[in-house]
């Protein structure tokens, strides 16, 4: 750890995107996750678009936002489909959008498509007052490809670059967060997601430069943080 002051427990809660993206999610499970968001004051509940109206109703009296996952988990949709899905999710109550970058297009050198989806999603979300994050899926990219994607995200004026869906071959790493922070500079958000299970995991990624954390283990992290603070 460096000399910078550790985030407080309330700061940690605000930086957590409590995540539930399982294919088999039920109303009872989604209701349970919404109750956890209320109890621990998480900044965001990250879910699939189908659940946005249901969860928005349950969280309507709270300041917590809902983030819808767009083009999830493969990112291989067309630009138009991703934009439609984002706008539809916003109409249904999403206050943030996390979309998966077209990894195939990037690897093929089709930078025009990657730039277009970043640009069009930034426009669609920002015109509606909504933050937008691009999921790079770093475990499938070379360091050079990560840098290219981060530079394109800056050019498109996205709000965050994000490490992972959590459903591919790897999740957030300190090395990737450091790379992303170096490339995007201090002004853009960096979201670490995938494999964040403990308070120490979160602190290590925060130290590396992450400003948001996607995890389904938010409650366990908060309990550990509270215990360490003697609360």
Which residues are identified as catalytic? 98, 162, 191
Q: Any idea which fold 9-228 has?
A: TIM Barrel (3.20.20)
Q: Three-state SS for 224?
A: helix
Position 1 scores a pLDDT of 44
Bond from prior residue into 229 cis (ω within 30 degrees of 0): no
The residue ranges of every structural domain in the chain are 9-228
CB 89 within 8 A of CB 52: yes
CA nearest to 166, candidates 132, 191, 130: 191
Q: Give the model confidence (pLDDT) of 179-202 as tens digits.
A: 999 999 999 999 999 999 999 999
If phi over 0 gives left and psi between -120 and 50 gives alpha, with beta otherwise, what is residue 33?
Answer: alpha
What is the C-alpha separation between 41 and 51, in angstroms, rounded? 19
Q: Give the model confidence (pLDDT) of 31-55 as tens digits.
A: 999 999 999 999 999 999 999 999 9
Token pair of 128 as six digits: 């509606």
């Amino acid at each position: 750890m460096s000399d910078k002051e550790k985030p407080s427990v309330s700061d940690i809660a605000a930086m957590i995107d409590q995540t539930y993206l399982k294919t088999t999610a039920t109303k009872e499970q989604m209701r349970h996750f919404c109750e956890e968001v209320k109890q621990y004051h998480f900044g965001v509940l990250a879910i699939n678009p189908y659940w946005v109206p249901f969860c928005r109703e349950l969280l309507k009296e709270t300041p917590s936002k809902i983030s819808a996952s767009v083009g999830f988990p493969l990112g291989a949709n067309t630009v138009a489909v991703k934009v439609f899905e984002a706008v539809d999710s916003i109409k249904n109550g999403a206050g943030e959008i996390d979309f998966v970058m077209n990894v195939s297009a990037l690897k093929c050198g089709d930078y025009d498509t990657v730039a277009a989806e970043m640009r069009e999603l930034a426009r669609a979300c920002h015109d509606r007052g909504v933050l937008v994050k691009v999921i790079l899926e770093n475990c499938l990219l070379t360091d050079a490809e990560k840098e290219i994607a981060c530079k394109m995200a800056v050019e498109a004026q996205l709000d965050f670059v994000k490490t992972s869906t959590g459903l591919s071959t790897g999740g957030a790493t300190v090395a990737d967060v450091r790379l992303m922070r170096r490339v995007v500079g201090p002004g853009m958000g960096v979201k670490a997601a995938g494999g964040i299970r403990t308070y120490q995991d979160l602190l290590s990624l925060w130290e590396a430069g992450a400003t948001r954390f996607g995890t389904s283990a938010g409650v366990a992290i908060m309990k550990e943080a509270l215990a360490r603070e003697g609360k």
